[in-house]
Amino acid sequence: MNAATQLLRELVARPSINPAFEDDPAVSGEERVAELLIDRARKTGLDIRRQAVLPGRKNLLVRLAPAGKVQRRIILAPHMDVVPAEAKQFKPIIKNGRLHGRGACDTKGSVATFFHSLCEIARSGSRPKHTELLFVGLVDEECNQAGSRKFAQAGPKGNLAIAGEPTMLQTVTAHKGDLWWRLTAQGKAAHGATPHLGKSAIHTMARVVDVLETEYAKLLRQRSHPLLGSPTCNVGVIRGGTQPNIVPGQAWIDIDRRTLPGETATGVWREIRTLLNRHRLKIDHTDLKGVDSPALETDPQLPLVQEFLRASRRRKTLGVHYFTDAAPITSGGTPAIVFGPGNIAQAHTADEWLDLKQLDQAVAIVTRFLRAQP
């Protein structure tokens, strides 16, 4: 078992379920992962700093200073939290060249890749002359990305950030944004025996859903981004009424609207409202996330992005549909890309795993990129 695999094995064995989904302190929170990395960072002689984000939860900043004056900063930014899992999923198993366990793919494989590469550079004695290398272990990616939002606000800024996610070793420069909204229809309650005296909010909401799933979906398919395709709208939840013998006075749906670069919450709401007004459908909307989650679009022609492509032996960048920490980091003034070992199809599954060959390849790519820094 090589050093990167051993690190991944230890990371997976330390539960770090996002506290938004699990309140048992034995398995929730990122601190156990941070403690492991801090211990290794100290033994390697790296600078360590913590950045307070939420009560009891802190980003971990591990720094390798350059030999001379800092003229460039590269940020390696994977997240340390994972989604809920059963206890057995925190007992890593290696079988047929794969490491199985919660977080192996999303995204402790990236944590192991970035941290091991940083330590390799530090131990080699040939640190960059003018490039600071900064590992940032982020909290809360799986919920509201509070860690990356705090880091974007407090800094430090960099010349390029690499957000860790399972991209199959592809370099991602674009991903969709995300709006979670609750749309509410008001009706008039009445006795179920005299429905003509009321107004069914469920009937109104059924018509709203039909418009979103047909006319609005068709409208969205007419737009396209070269890396991301079309925006989408999914009706994921519907609720309404209280019991069969009462005409429902209220009904609501929760929607997930994936946005393209350039789309804003204000603009999206305006187009939905305009479309529903044509059908004389009146609804209210509420933001369920409470934070801005815009699409990512980083210029693939940026010199550092091109350097990373060369290190990864790739020619083109890709786009993905899911949201990542790269977008909040970019909002703070640092261009960001997304990269890591593993397939997003394995993320959050009951049998999550990572191909260890990809882990080794990812380490080689990131180490090659870091060694090339001036």
Q: What are the extents of the domains in the chain? A: 3-175+295-371, 177-287
Residue 123's pLDDT band (boundaries 50, 70, 90)? very high
**Closest C-alpha among 116, 121, 141 to residue 37:** 116
Residue 312's pLDDT band (boundaries 50, 70, 90)? very high
Sheet containing strand 93-95, edge to edge, reads 93-95, 98-100, 353-355
Q: At what angle do helices 3-12 and 356-371 cross, to 10 degrees?
A: 110
Which of 173-188 are b and which e, b meaning 16 or more Cβ less than 10 Å from the residue's Cβ? bbbbbbbbbbbbbebe
- This prediction has a pTM of 0.94
Q: For the residues of 21-35, what is the DSSP string, one character each? A: T---TTTBSSHHHHH
Cβ(353)–Cβ(99) under 8 Å?
yes
Looking at residues 321-339, what average pLDDT do you find? Answer: 97
> Residue 125: what pLDDT?
82
Residue 226's pLDDT band (boundaries 50, 70, 90)? very high
Looking at residues 142-152, what average pLDDT do you find? Answer: 97
46: which 2 tokens? 């790296």
| pLDDT above 90: residue 356 | yes
> Residue 172: what pLDDT?
98
- The CB density around residue 277, as the number of other CB atoms within 10 Å, is 11
Q: How many residues does the chain have?
A: 374
> Residue 35: what pLDDT?
98
Looking at residues 336-353, what average pLDDT do you find? Answer: 96
The fold of the 177-287 domain, in CATH, is Alpha-Beta Plaits (3.30.70)
| pLDDT above 90: residue 299 | yes
Percentage of residues in the chain having pLDDT higher than 70: 100
pLDDT in tens, 241-286: 999 999 999 999 999 999 999 999 999 999 999 999 999 999 999 9
Q: For the residues of 237-302, what is the DSSP string, one character each? A: EEEE-S-TTEE-SEEEEEEEEEE-TT--HHHHHHHHHHHHHHTT---EEEESS-S--PPEE--TTS
Percentage of residues in the chain having pLDDT higher than 90: 99
> Residue 126: what pLDDT?
85
> Residue 31: what pLDDT?
97
**Considering the domain 3-175+295-371 in this protein, what is its CATH number?**
3.40.630.10
Looking at residues 293-310, what average pLDDT do you find? Answer: 98
| pLDDT above 90: residue 144 | yes
The reply to whether 177-287 shares the fold of 3-175+295-371 is: no
Give the separation between CA 363 and CA 336, rounded to whole angstroms. 19
